[in-house]
Amino acid sequence: MFFNIFETLDYRLQDALYQESEVTNPDIVIVGIDDESLNMLGRWPWPRDYHGELIRLIGEGEPSVIGYDIILAEESAVQGEDDYLVQMVEEAGNVVLPVYGTFDSSAKRGTLQAINISKPFTALDEVGRKGHINTLIDNDGIVRRTVLNFEYEGERINSFAWEVYKLYEGKTEKNQIAMANIPSDNWQRTHIRFSGKPSNFELIPFYKVLNGEIPGEYFRDKIVLVGPTAIGVADDYYFTPMAPQVPMYGVEIHGNIILQFMNQRFWSEIPLFGQLAIMLALGIVGYFLLRRFKPEIGALILAGMVVIFLIFVKIAGSENKGYIMSFAYPIGLLGMQYVAVLGEKFIAEKLEKRRVTDVFGKYVAPQIVDKILEEGEAGLQLGGARRDISVLFVDIRGFTPLSESAEPEEVVSILNDYLTLCAKSIFAYGGTLDKYVGDAAMALYNAPLDLDNHQLRAVQTAWAMHQGAQSLQEKLEKKFGKTVRFGIGIHTGSAIVGNIGADFRMDYTAIGDTVNTAARIESNSKPGQILISQAVYDHVKDYVEVTDIGQIQVKGKAQALQVYQVNRLLTT
């Protein structure tokens, strides 16, 4: 904001909010050097007596002031032609003539000094009142401000519009205002409150006054501005906030400024410190509100704050002596806060999800944690769905005799080592650690996430447990003279998988004959033995080397089960 990086955007937003059309004053009339007059009177420039005759005819109606917005800087090449013009200007006594200042780009702030001026030729300059017609154009090519005065060789030169207004004020004795009361910056610049779009003032063609169609009486007590209203006469046209694509002639801009003086409607720009204070206040409110609510509510709050802010600045600027400020930056600040809050909440949610996954994942499988976090409340509803799964049961054989010869702390440490190996092996192949039951564990494959070839993954897990247990067995044999070994059973089939239990305490598990069969197969396995059912073998026979154990009779089953012992994996 300090460097005004978004100057053009800010200007356009201010134009849309502050500038609005108003009814122009019929006391201001423009006599235009327009296309019609050029057709009737010939090419520009015209003989000087045309200008003198125009001033005489207008002067007969006793207007308040005549503002002649044409710089006749050089004397006419026709000897004596200027005399009539000078005489008419002198006799009228209320003609304001233009001058134009040239400035050094290195001028110091607050001391606007012209290094040169263009003014009427000497004889004309001596009989008319002068005012500068310098026009300020912003970086986007739009005229929004005017310079009230500048200095040249120790003389203060007021603006053309101001000199016209002061003559009008002196004649009417109303709407009096001092220049010191007009808000301006250190360069004596003040904002223009435009009254209308181009061609909003009454326009009378130059030739119609000369040929008598418009009598001088028509201009009684009026402000009469004379100037080019045709492109190409003096290139005296500009673009304004009222119609950025339609040119407004310089004489019309002067008319808007004069009307502004007459109505005493000005804008004061809130100082940078004040604008920063407003931004700080908005930022504090935005900080507390936007962070407190969900993004959807935050978007409504953001929109509401922007609307309230715009209403505030609109009301502040609508008064006769209103205040205007930048609002691209405050609105931008609120928008950035909203984006920052979204980012903060997104990051916080990711961190919280990771924390929950890390902590909760120590109690249930990470897949189940992810499923709950993804589905929210829906993921915590009781119920299940039928799906094909593979179930692995593993138990530690010989753990009871070992626990009798070791201290309780050692027993816990040994158990943790074995169960850690189990968990790592299960997770390595995409399995879901369903539960620990004492020194046993249960794992599911293809639930809750779909897994390709889940039967093989279960067998790979069992083989990883078998291989990883060897180092643990050697360690126990050396320390206690005893060892423990895994007994593993695997079966595949359909089961009901989901949240089972009560509303206040539930487990994600599998229920059905497939689970019971896997548990029975595991109970029949010997220490260090991996047993798989016929259903599992049919899916993995190309990947394993097995020994046919034959049929075994298990508890709860009327028919014997065909099982195989896994000797080694042929491929991983």
Report the CATH number at residue 433.
3.30.70.1230
- Residue at 179 is within a domain: yes
Q: What angle do CA 19, 25, 30 make, to 5 degrees?
A: 100
Both 229 and 279 in one domain: the answer is no
- Residue at 11 is within a domain: no
CA–CA distance, 545 with 455 (Å, rounded to integer): 15
Confidence of residue 101 (pLDDT cuts 50, 70, 90): very high
Residue 447 has pLDDT above 60, yes or no: yes
Both 280 and 163 in one domain: the answer is no
Q: How many domains does the chain have?
A: 3
Both 187 and 237 in one domain: the answer is yes
Write down the pLDDT at residue 410: 82
Give the H or E element holding residue 339: helix 328-360
Lowest-pLDDT range, 1-15, 96-110, 435-449?
Answer: 96-110
- Residue at 482 is within a domain: yes
Both 426 and 288 in one domain: the answer is no
Confidence of residue 380 (pLDDT cuts 50, 70, 90): very low
Both 258 and 291 in one domain: the answer is no
Domain boundary among 250, 267, 284: 267
Q: Quick one: the chain helix, strand, coil %, rounded to 5? A: 45, 25, 30
- Residue at 378 is within a domain: no
- Torsion sign, CA atoms 438, 439, 444, 448: positive
CA–CA distance, 559 with 551 (Å, rounded to integer): 9
Residue 385 has pLDDT above 90, yes or no: no
Here the tokens at position 339 are: 């984006």
- Residue at 495 is within a domain: yes
For 159, 176, 368, 444, the CA distances from 162, given in Å and listed in that order, are: 5, 12, 80, 90
pTM of this prediction?
0.67
Give residue 247's Cα distance to chain centre. 33
Arithmetic mean of pLDDT over the chain: 88
Write down the pLDDT at residue 504: 72
Question: Contact 63/224 with Cβ under 8 angstroms?
Answer: yes
- Residue at 9 is within a domain: no
Both 300 and 436 in one domain: the answer is no
Domain boundary among 238, 267, 296: 267
For 101, 140, 360, 431, 536, the CA distances from 374, given in Å and listed in that order, are: 71, 50, 14, 19, 32
Domain boundary among 237, 267, 297: 267
Structural domain of 547: 383-569
Both 123 and 138 in one domain: the answer is yes
| More confident position, 529 or 508 | 529
Both 350 and 400 in one domain: the answer is no
- Residue at 370 is within a domain: no
Residues in the chain: 572
Residue 456 has pLDDT above 90, yes or no: yes
Both 143 and 233 in one domain: the answer is yes
Residue with tokens 């000199």: 163
- Residue at 33 is within a domain: yes
Q: What is the DSSP secondary structure assignment for residue 325, as one 8-state letter?
A: -
Both 123 and 64 in one domain: the answer is yes
Both 405 and 553 in one domain: the answer is yes
How many CB atoms within 10 Å of residue 101? 20
Both 296 and 352 in one domain: the answer is yes
For 98, 117, 267, 270, 441, the CA distances from 313, given in Å and listed in that order, are: 36, 39, 12, 11, 69
Q: pLDDT by residue (tens digit) across 478-495?
A: 777 677 889 999 999 999
